[in-house]
Every structure is written in C-alpha cells, then in structure tokens.
C-alpha cells in the first residue's frame, strides 16, 4: 500500500487513540501506575492506547513492522514506531502536557509523522517532502537566530549523566535565552516546528519519542541532527532540533560532549566504549581495555 493509504488510516487512528487516552486522563486518579525507572512511569492508559494502535495497524497493514514503547516489537525495513503517551509523568499528575506519537519509517527514516495533543485539540502531521501542518494549516519554524530572543527547551534524560545537559543549559542562560523543561519530547518538538519555541536538546531519546517529531520539524523548515535510521531504532541517541539560524551554535555546544550522529555517547568520558554501555550499562555487553572517567548514571 502507498504512503497516502497509510496516512489515511493513521490520521483517524491517532485521533481515536487520543480520545482513549483523554478518557483515562479524565479519571487518572483511579489509575494504578508502575515505575520502570527513576521518573519513568507506565499505566494501563499507556498499554491500552498502544494496544489499540498496534491492533489496528496489524489488521490493516499486516506486513508492516511495529515498535512501541510499552510492547516492544521488531522494527523491520518498513515499520510503525509508536509512543502511546509521551509525558506519562505529566499525564499522571494532571498536567495537560502529553501527546500520542505515530511514525511510519522506511529503513529507519520517518516518512510519516503524526503527533496528537488531545488536551489542546491539535494534530500535527508531516509527510516527507510535503511540509508540515497543524490541524490542516501549514506550520513553520521561527526565524529567531539570536540567543537573547530565543526560547530553548531542554529534555533531561535519566539514561545519561546530567552533566551532558549542563553546558547547553548554561549556554542558553548566559546567552539570555528563556529556558523551559516540559518533560515531553513530542510537545517540545512540535513547539519548535510551529515556532512557539526555537530549539530543543536532549542528551538521549528513544525512537518512539522522536521519529514523528523529527519529521515534523524538518518539514516545517527546521534543522535536526541526523542519526542513521538503524542506529536510532536500535538504541536511540541524542536529539537537537532548532531554527536554521540557531542550529550551528547549538550543535557546537552539544558536540563538545556528544556525537550528534549517534556514534558515541560521551566523548570526554570514554575512548572506545560502545554508546549502549554509556546509555544503559545494565543492558551493555561486558567490555575490556576501556579507559573511562566515572560518571553519574541512572538507569531507566
């Protein structure tokens, strides 16, 4: 089936998934949640929303792969990558800063990106090469090129040392930027895409957090770092998205400690250590002959 056919199915599906999530949000006080790690929560809402999306896509496109935050899966050459509720911590605390994300990727590169924010009634859509929209209206990144005029968003990953974010935070603050941390990657990315923020940085994200949003930012005229699709699907990586005018300066700050192409996680800390062992030591294979400085790392 064509990209248009997949978009025609995914668009009403993400709205339906958003309605299901919003129903759980309205009765969130009765939900039981579990922790997967520090500040990493999951509830029945996450699982039921993902189950809805997964079942509907499997029924309509049985040959496509599926990779979801809660149920996992196998990516494959052509696959759907889904975050049922990005911003679960906000969701459970009653903050309306969360969203549903669906991406369709070929060889790990997103060609369809959909993000639905039910609490504000916004659906962001992008198809590679065809621009980005919010509720059907074209959107574009801002033209901000000076730190003193910019709003910079920061995501704080619990999979990496907090040290990896400090230089970006300091650069933004010393440059006079407004600084925000919303606790949700999908909201941050659509804000950059629509021009209500001007840059977003997170030291490590998973593919379900970012693939839809990356495409939306790119199609809205923004710049992002470019991690090869198979690498992002396998282990995630750092994320930088911004206006074209700010990108090179933000990338220079991020690149001092991180390989924005996803090749290694912390240049200062290790020589020769696989990125997976820095991002999540509990899942890394044992290594030898490495020269590493200690770092504070929490697993989630």
- The whole-number pLDDT of residue 35 equals 62
CA 265, chain centre distance (Å) = 17
Give the number of other Cβ atoms within 10 Å of residue 253's Cβ.
18
pTM above 0.75, yes or no: yes
Q: What is the pLDDT of residues 34-72, one digit of tens each?
A: 665 554 456 889 999 999 999 999 999 999 999 999 888
- The whole-number pLDDT of residue 40 equals 47
Q: Give the CATH architecture of domain 147-292.
A: 3-Layer(aba) Sandwich (3.40)
Beta strands in 158-232 (DSSP E): 178-180, 199-205, 223-224
DSSP 53-107: HHHHHHHH-TTSEEEETTTEEE--SEEEEEEEEE-HHHHHHT-S--EEEEEEEET
Contact 250, 241 (CB under 8 A): no
Lowest mean pLDDT among 122-131, 154-163, 202-211, 281-290: 281-290
Q: In which band, very low, low, confident or very high, does the pLDDT at 267 lie, cut at 50, 70 and 90?
A: very low
- CATH tag for 3-138 (out of 3.40.50.620, 3.40.50.1970, 3.30.540.10, 3.30.1490.20): 3.30.540.10
Average pLDDT, integer, range 237-260: 96
- The whole-number pLDDT of residue 235 equals 92
The contacts of residue 188 (CB under 8 Å, 6+ apart) are 153, 155, 182, 197, 200, 202, 213
| 147-292 and 3-138 share a CATH fold | no
Domain-wise residue ranges, the chain = 3-138, 147-292
- For residue 266, is pLDDT > 80? no
Give the number of other Cβ atoms within 10 Å of residue 34's Cβ.
10
Listed residue (295, 261, 288) closest to 272, CA to CA:
288
- For residue 112, is pLDDT > 50? yes
Give dist(CA 5, CA 257) in Å, integer. 42
Chain mean pLDDT for the chain: 86
Beta partners for 122? Answer: 117
Average pLDDT, integer, range 99-114: 97
Average pLDDT, integer, range 226-236: 93
């Amino acid at each position: 089936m064509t990209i248009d056919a997949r978009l025609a199915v995914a668009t009403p599906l993400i709205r339906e998934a958003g309605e299901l999530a919003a129903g759980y949000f309205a009765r969130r006080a009765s939900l039981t949640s579990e922790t997967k790690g520090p500040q990493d929560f999951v509830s029945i809402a996450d699982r039921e929303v993902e189950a809805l999306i997964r079942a509907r896509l499997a029924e309509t496109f049985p040959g496509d792969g599926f990779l979801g935050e809660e149920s996992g899966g196998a990516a494959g050459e052509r696959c759907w990558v889904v975050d049922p509720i990005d911003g679960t911590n906000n969701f459970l605390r009653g903050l309306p800063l969360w969203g549903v994300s669906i991406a369709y990727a070929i060889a790990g590169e997103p060609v369809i990106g959909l993000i639905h924010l039910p609490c504000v009634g916004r659906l962001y859509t992008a198809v590679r090469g065809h621009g980005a929209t919010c509720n059907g209206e074209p959107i574009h990144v801002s033209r901000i090129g000076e730190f003193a005029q910019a709003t910079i968003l920061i995501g704080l990953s619990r999979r990496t040392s907090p040290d990896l974010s400090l230089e970006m935070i300091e650069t933004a603050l010393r440059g006079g930027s407004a600084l925000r941390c919303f606790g949700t990657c999908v909201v941050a990315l659509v804000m950059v895409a629509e021009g209500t923020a001007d840059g977003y940085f997170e030291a490590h994200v998973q593919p379900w957090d970012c693939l839809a949003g990356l495409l939306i930012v790119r199609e809205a005229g923004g710049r992002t770092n470019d991690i090869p699709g198979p690498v992002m699907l396998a282990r995630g990586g750092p994320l930088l998205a911004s206006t074209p005018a700010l990108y090179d300066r933000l990338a220079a700050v991020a690149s001092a400690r991180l390989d924005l192409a996803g090749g290694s996680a912390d240049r200062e800390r290790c020589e020769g250590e696989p990125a997976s062992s820095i991002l999540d030591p509990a899942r890394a294979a044992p290594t030898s002959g490495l020269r590493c400085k200690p770092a504070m790392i929490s697993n989630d």
